[in-house]
């Protein structure tokens, strides 16, 4: 099983910066290898996370985790959804760093999200 994506919601710039510096030091020391790689994704607030990770987009990610797709059209057909909406979903998820797209197709190579959340009132 692959490592989960670390999702940070409402994280301060200071905390994100400290996480970056820590990763930099671990990489310099050789502790952060390809086998020990981590994926971190940040959302400004809860509302943004919920908008990006809608139920349809989670369904899309789950499908790609189980079965990568060679194209958006193939993914839309597999999901039984409209091409344009799937295209928009792929763009949003790729922009958030939650989906890999290259010449080989579309993939979600992680199996879970670990969420750290700070919700301001």
Which domains, from first to last, does the chain contain? 5-117 (1.10.10.10)
- How far is CA 29 from each of CA 25, 66, 87, rounded to the nearest angstrom? 6, 35, 40
Contact 73, 80 (CB under 8 A): no
Mean pLDDT of 109-121: 85
Residue 1 confidence (pLDDT): 45
pTM: 0.81
- Sheet with strand 113-117: strands edge to edge: 40-43, 5-9, 113-117
Flag whether pLDDT at 39 surpasses 80. yes
């Amino acid at each position: 099983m692959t490592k989960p994506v670390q999702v940070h919601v409402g994280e301060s710039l200071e905390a994100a910066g400290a996480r970056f510096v820590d990763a930099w030091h671990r990489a310099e020391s050789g502790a952060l290898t390809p086998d020990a790689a981590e994926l971190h994704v940040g959302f400004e607030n809860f509302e943004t996370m919920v908008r990006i990770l809608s139920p349809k987009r989670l369904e899309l990610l789950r499908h790609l985790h189980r079965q990568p797709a060679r194209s958006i059209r193939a993914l839309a057909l597999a999901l039984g959804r409209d091409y344009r909406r799937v295209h928009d979903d792929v763009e949003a998820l790729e922009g958030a760093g939650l989906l890999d797209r290259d010449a080989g197709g579309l993939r979600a190579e992680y199996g879970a999200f670990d969420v750290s959340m700070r919700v301001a009132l």
